[in-house]
Structures are given as C-alpha cells and as structure tokens.
Chains A and B, each alone.
Chain A
C-alpha cells in the first residue's frame, strides 16, 4: 500500500485509467455525462469485479464446502481465499475472525443478537453517538426493548465532532458495549476510534466500530485499533451488493452463540443434540453469497492495486476542492466541518430544499443523495430537515465537482 506518489516516487494517480475501469462512468444520465457523487450510498464497480463475478458463473460455479468434485473445490478455494484477502485488508490476526454477512446492517444485528442478547442484562449500558446510521441505532433499541438495557448517546459538536469529554462521562462500570461509526456517512467526520476503544476497554466494555464508510477511504488495522468488532459492506467498497463483513476477535466470537441455525454452521446434528461448527462457519448458516464474496475479494485486490493511501490523498484533494467551490456559493451552508473528515460533503441551500436540488441537478447528469441519509437523529441534532450529500469515490475527479457546481447554478436560476 505504498503507491502514494508523494512518498514512493511511484507514478501519479492515473485517474483516466481508473475511470476507464468503471464501465458505468461512460454512460450518460439525461443525455449529460454522468457525474456520480453518491458513492457513500453505494459505489460503482470496476470491470475487474464484474469480470470476477461473471467468471465464477461462467466457469467455476457450484456450492461451496460440499461438493467432492473439481469445480466445487475450486470455487470453495476462491471463496475462502477472499476471507484471507479481507483478513489482510484489515489486518485481523486470524482468517476465521472474518465472518461473511449480507451487509453492514446484518453484521451489526449479528452482534446485537449474538453478543447483546447473550451477554447483556437489564441495566447494562450500550453507548452510541449522535451521528450513527440507523443501522447502528435500531438494533440497540430493539435490544433495549427486549432486555431492558440502557442506551446512551454521546453528543457531537456543531462542527460534527464527537465531544470526547461528554463521551468519557458516559463511560462507567455498567458500560458493556461502545458501538460507534468510524466515519459519519452524513458529515464525513472521522472519529478518533483508537482513543474511543482504549477508553472503552479501560472500563471493561467491548467495542464495535461501524466501518461501512471508512474502509473505502482509510487504511484499517483492527489489531492496532484494538476493537472487538469491525463491520462493513461490500457494495460501498466497489464490490457487489449482498455481501458484508463482520470482523470479531476470536475470543469474543467463540463465546457467542450462533446467529442462525441450519446447514454449514453445524459440526454434527442429531435430533437430540447439535454441535456448532468452528469459526467462521458457526455464524454462516446456509448457502452464502458465493459470487458476491469472490467479487468483494476482487474489489479489495483492485483497491490494493491502487493503494488506499494514494486513494486517500486523491480524495482529500478533491474534498478540499469541492469544499472551496461549494463554500463560495451564496446561501450555501456546509453541514459537518470537523477538521478530520473524509470524502463526504453535506450541504443546505437557504433558497431551495434538498429534494428540489437533487431533482434539478439530476437533469444535469449529477447524482447525489438528498434526504436524511438514514440518520434522522443526526438531522435533528444539526437542526436540518435534510441535506444534499455529495460523496467522493476513488474514480471522481474535478470535472464531477465542476458539474455539481454548475448544476447548482440551475437551482439558483430557478429558486434564487
């Protein structure tokens, strides 16, 4: 991961070659070149991923872990090989600490079910923050309603930064789990997750980091972070939808009961007694998303080929450019101005509602998201009904930002 031109002297970020890898970027939307600025919702796929998925279906498809024939063995090896690719990507200690799920949401629910229901009792406390995605709020509310746990919410500042002192005040002997986003999908804020983890561990709490947004922008080392769980979705990482990841520390995963029962997750079954399979299969009941997992492996290979450091540098430059261009528009207010943020810029126009903005700029070929971004409590905290969100992926360049800014001119023309 040292293709950062600033440090290694490797070739500069070849944005044209990268864009050429993404077939969809050459299409138009409403007869305009597509300016895709919605990667935080779901990212586009490079040809390498599309080819990997097609290759599985065309040459090597069978069920995994079952067949005693060549194709099944080959596809099983590729599927399990992806687990190793992911282990390296987030530097987990063991391959069996990587659990495949459908998406980040399912990963969090798995923890709420397997860890929360099993180890938390009435009065135990779970801490989240004000900037969480609904996926990291609702499972804990369901647990609260079922088990009587207490859900505490650490506040963020007007800039969208976690207020560390307030977070620390919430920590106590009853804190059993701290579940926070590594990076906000609305504000772009990157949270100090290493410090959060250290402080949570100091009171004996476990830590879940929601990495759905961060894994595409920030190199992650789960051992250095020290977290107990790390979750993300494949589809935001340039991989297929339908595949997600739960990393859990071996010791914690071993203590947890299975999530779902069925095939693949057992060691032996009689009507009297069933014994669970070992990790990771204990948590993977039924036929998995085989081609999707392999596609995710190809996506990670693709990202590694460019280098996350180089990607982060490219995106930071673009975020800077976007922030400056947007900030110079009269009546535009950026929501989320934390010093440490990545690849997402949310904003409001004082003369037009976010939905009207999205509709108008769609006609100029610009794809953004407008709404509450599955973070309604954060919208309330920032006192906005909705925002327009432009998010940057590894394939975006200044032309995308310029298209956005020009399209906002159309909004001004109609509403201004």
Chain B
C-alpha cells in the first residue's frame, strides 16, 4: 500500500471517523446549516450555540459521509468551542490552505496543530472537498445561510 494512503488514513482519522465526537443534533443551537456535496452525496448538519458574548459555546454535527469528512467534522467541533466567529472563520481559511496544498508547510497555531493529520488530502485532489465540507458548512451557519453545496 502506498505511503500517501497511510499518510491520508492515519490512526487518528480512522478513530475519529469511527467514533466521531459531538455527533448529535442540538435543540439549543442558535445557528445551524446543512452542507451537501452533490458529487458524492455526503450530507451533514452543523449546529452552533453562541453564548451571550457571541462566542461558540457548543458545536456539534450529524450526517453521513466518508472517514475523511466525518473525522474533519469531529475535530472541527472539538476545536471551535470558545472561539469567536471571526477566529472560526480565519481558522477555516488556514485549514483550507493546508488542505489544498497552497499552504504547504503552513504554520498552524499550537492549539489546532492536531488538524495537521488531515493535510494528507493534499495528495488526493478529489478528496479535498470531503475534508473542507464541514468547515464550509460551519461558516455558512455563522453567516446565517441555511444550506451550502460544494462541487
């Protein structure tokens, strides 16, 4: 099996894929959006609860998809808590750069360094959307859009 494959499907990803964190709907959510990847049929809903200060108090998701999209959503919901919408959006930009390869060797802030395990998608152009779909959906929720599609 190729090294790229082992790099893509690291233990951490497989583990998050199998046991996603924060995998539930949320009645208390103040923002939510649905994300679709029409090409492969992946779908998920991201739920965000903002506190009085406008920061993310809670984040969760539900959906079906491949190991990459599930792991990405799982790790994203873990990382969002306590962040302001602007921080969340700028994290998305950094994450996106890392996944598309434009950010080869990009510096990740220390507290989100664990997202680097997803950088293996860089070698798999058709799978970049799987990793970024949850993030696109999260940004849509913050922008009060109900639904987004990636293609």
Contacts and interface: CB of A to CB of B under 8 A. Distances in A.
A356 B68 contact: yes
Contact of B1 (A355, A363, A376, A386): A363
Interface in A345-378: 352-356, 359-360, 363-364, 370-372, 376
A386 B64 CA distance: 10
A414 interface: yes
A359 B2 CA distance: 11
A355 B40 contact: yes
Interface in B127-144: 127, 130
A359 B126 contact: yes
Interface string A382-416: 00011000000000000000000000001001110
Contacts of A65: none
A223 B122 CA distance: 53
A161 B112 CA distance: 50
Interface residues of B, number: 21
Nearest to A409: B1
A182 B5 CA distance: 39
A54 interface: no
Contact of A355 (B4, B6, B130): B130
B14 interface: yes
Interface in B1-31: 1-2, 4-6, 8-9, 14
A30 interface: yes
Given A30-B2, A414-B14, A415-B67, A356 B41 contact: no
Given A356-B66, A359-B127, A370 B40 contact: yes
B65 interface: yes
A180 interface: no
A376 B66 contact: no
B36 to A, nearest CB: 11
Nearest to B70: A353
Nearest to A407: B1
Nearest to A371: B40
Contacts of B64: 385
A63 B39 CA distance: 37
B132 to A, nearest CB: 14
Given A352-B67, A353-B65, A363 B4 contact: yes
Contacts of A376: 41
B103 to A, nearest CB: 22
Interface in B107-133: 124, 126-127, 130
A355 B2 contact: no
A359 B8 contact: yes
A414 B9 contact: yes
A355 B14 contact: no
Contact of B127 (A355, A386, A415): A355
A385 B2 contact: no
B127 to A, nearest CB: 6
A62 to B, nearest CB: 39
Contacts of B40: 355, 370-372, 386
A379 interface: yes
A363 B5 contact: yes
7 contacts: A353-B67, A356-B9, A363-B1, A410-B5, A413-B1, A415-B9, A415-B67
